[in-house]
Amino acid sequence: MKPQTVKEWFASRQHHWKRAFISLGIIISIIQFLRIIRSTPGDFPLHWKSGEMLATGEFLYTANHNYPYPPFWGYVHSILADIPMQTAYLLIYPLFFIALGLLIWCLDRLCEKHFPLKRNLFFWTTVIAIVLSSRYLVRDMLECGVNLALVAFSWLSVYLWREKREFLGSLFLGFAMALKCTPSLFWAYFILKREWKMAAFTFVAAVFFTLSPMFKLGYTEYKVTLLHWSNNVLTGLQETDPSRGIAGEVPLSNMSLKPTLARFVMHLPPEHNARIDSPLYIDFLDFSPQTAGRIVKFTMLFCLALVAWTFRKRIQDREDERVLWECGAISALILLYSPVTWGQHCVGIFPGIYLLTRSSVSHQQISTQLKTSIGVYVFVVLVLNRSFIGKHFTELIDTYHLPTLAFTGIVVFLINRHRQVNQSAQHMIPFTKPESDPGSDNLSKEQRAA
């Protein structure tokens, strides 16, 4: 009898593996739910308090409470003010699963033309993407999926735009922009692509949602609140020392690009909270904070300008494959360019991982370079964490910002896929809509039904 290969052995036990992964997901979800019952491990108590302060007429940013968040964030949470904090925490926990389901649905609809999959392969592709993003997805469970919801709303707006439903899509993106500024990078993307209708509707929606707390606070109180928030944010953004941000010294857990670059071009002060006392902590370049700040700003602006130049071509076909790679890169760039990127925010890397995984599975080919990079990513992000190597070594590794460098690598892969599609379409008019094949839609449906 011919011995089975690993692939054949796995295929013969697929139903067992499916049940195992689904059971593991349920167990993790229950564990996180029990953690919320026993304590308040996430930031939700801060957000609930913001809603209570706004609902009761107390100044929203008293003692700089939760000040990185705009007034609309507190206004949305004010609907929970009449519910005890612990009860509200438990009630909105299912938001995580709703947001994850919505995001996967949007990505599937956007990918089904270029990367068609049968139902079984779709399941395993989704599992792989979830596993690779699990460190951040599990962390956002404790935040009830609010960060995942922002990612889902951004991608839902892209899907609705593709379906030529700009008004509805702009409401979701405008809502996300009013909650946090970072989804504005998708708005900037629509401007770059000269999608003026979508950009204009989104701007109007974002302004409306941003001003909506005025209905509760009144004009005068809202003006004071908005000015206080904007002054705090602008003061942090104008900081010339890249090791400091809107909340003072940038902590070790901040995974944005600015402190990552600062780590390699300047020596952090001995008392800095992102520096640890260890012989394995190595300093690199030793520019002054002001010079380092200029180097970091130039590098970040140059990279952003390079991406914008790469994505500059106007879209003629909204179903063009390049739109997927561009939006995947935008979703990851939000993490790198945000002033504050905690672990729960890193769920924004999920779409990029999903796109790379799905395209490889659909085309049944994966390059050696991508295999190696996935291995490095798994080791850096999933293996080198506190559960396996302990707190001290986790903090030591975090001083080198390896997860941020891994995110940067994902952006490079997404842009490279975009470049490959460009090269394969050189003989065609850029971004023009190809002639439709009457049987293509039926083929896609038959493939999915199979």
Q: Is residue 247 part of a domain?
A: yes
| Amino acid, res. 142 | L
Q: Which tens digits make up the pLDDT trace of 326-346?
A: 999 999 999 999 999 999 999
215 domain-assigned: yes
Taking a C-beta distance cutoff of 8 angstroms, is the pair 187, 202 a contact?
A: yes
Residue 42 lies in a domain: no
Is residue 162 included in any domain, yes or no? yes
| CA–CA separation, 372 and 274 (whole Å) | 30
Does residue 195 form part of some domain? Answer: yes
Please report whether residue 66 resides in a domain.
Answer: no
Query: pLDDT of 392-449, one tens digit each?
Result: 888 899 999 999 999 999 999 999 999 999 988 765 554 544 444 444 444 444 454 4
Task: Say how far apart CA 402 and CA 400 lie, in whole Å.
Answer: 6
d(CA 37, CA 78): 22
The string of pLDDT tens digits covering residues 126-164 is 999 999 999 999 999 999 999 999 999 999 999 999 999
Number of domains in the chain: 1
Q: How many residues does the chain have?
A: 450
375: containing domain: 94-426
CA 194 to chain centre: 24
Per-residue tokens: 423: 């090269």
pTM: 0.91
Report how far residue 112's alpha carbon sits from residue 367's, in angstroms, rounded to the nearest whole number.
Answer: 22
- At 291-311, the pLDDT tens digits run 999 999 999 999 999 999 999
40 pLDDT tier (thresholds 50, 70, 90): confident
Short-list 51, 392, 373, 428, CA closest to 252 = 392
SS (H, E, C) 243-266: CEECCEECCCCCCCHHHHHHHHHC
Tell me whether residue 86 is in a domain: no
Asked whether residue 368 is domain-assigned, the answer is yes
- Cα gap 316→425, rounded to integer Å: 14
Q: Is the CB of residue 37 less than 8 Å from the CB of residue 93? A: no
Q: 248 forms bridges with which residues in the sheet? A: 245
Check if the beta carbon of residue 68 is closer than 8 Å to that of residue 246.
yes
105-128: per-residue pLDDT in tens? 999 999 999 999 999 999 999 999
